[in-house]
Homo-oligomer: A and B are copies of this chain.
């Protein structure tokens, strides 16, 4: 039994031990439960493969509630996508690069990105789905357009400090650096299944993951050093 189903069952059983709130009718919890179930379903099957019935069942509720809270399948997908982006943007805020030495800062950024991707495979999968559809929902979402990353600005500052110290090449572009870090992490994880099959090596064992993390840091730094 996965987490989502367990949650749903607990909810159905009445209140979950805490006396604060009678859990039999709990709109927020139902909504959240549907969203969590939809995240799993869309991440595992894509938008065309996801089944509305499967989401309702996973959430421990029924379709009527899903349509009640989210309108239709596409709007539910959009909500899932928005939540996923909010998740990474929120996590990004916890990373403070301005106190670090330039090289250390770039390394931290790379390791942060790697860790986030590793811990949130559903985010990578949703990105893949969204790109298959030419970012149709991302472009449509005003909420997500406002929610832009401040990573590039932070990284630009960091690189400028490194350039001033003569550590980094002056023609280094922050976007390129960020794309490099993201590319190395994304490809390794999102394509793990075909790569493992073709090269006959398990890329997901602890030692391989640790080695690839070091590789990302090393590659990124080597590419920007003067």
Residues of A within 8 A of B (CB): 44-50, 125, 127-135, 138-139, 145, 148-149, 152, 175-176, 179-180, 182-184, 186-188, 190-199, 201, 212, 215, 218-219, 222-223, 225
Does B186 contact A179, Cβ atoms closer than 8 Å?
no
Expressed in whole angstroms, the minimum distance between the Cβ of A137 and any Cβ of chain B is 10
Assembled-state Cα–Cα distance A145/B199 (Å): 10
* A46-B132, A127-B194, A176-B212 given; 6 more Cβ-contact pairs under 8 Å: A128-B132, A139-B197, A179-B188, A180-B184, A180-B215, A222-B222
Per assembly, the copies of the chain total: 2
6 contacts between A and B (CB under 8 A): A46-B46, A48-B49, A125-B132, A149-B198, A183-B187, A186-B191
Provide the main secondary structure of the chain A interface.
helix
Assembled-state Cα–Cα distance A128/B189 (Å): 11
Residues of B within 8 A of A152 (CB): 199
Does A130 contact B176, Cβ atoms closer than 8 Å?
no
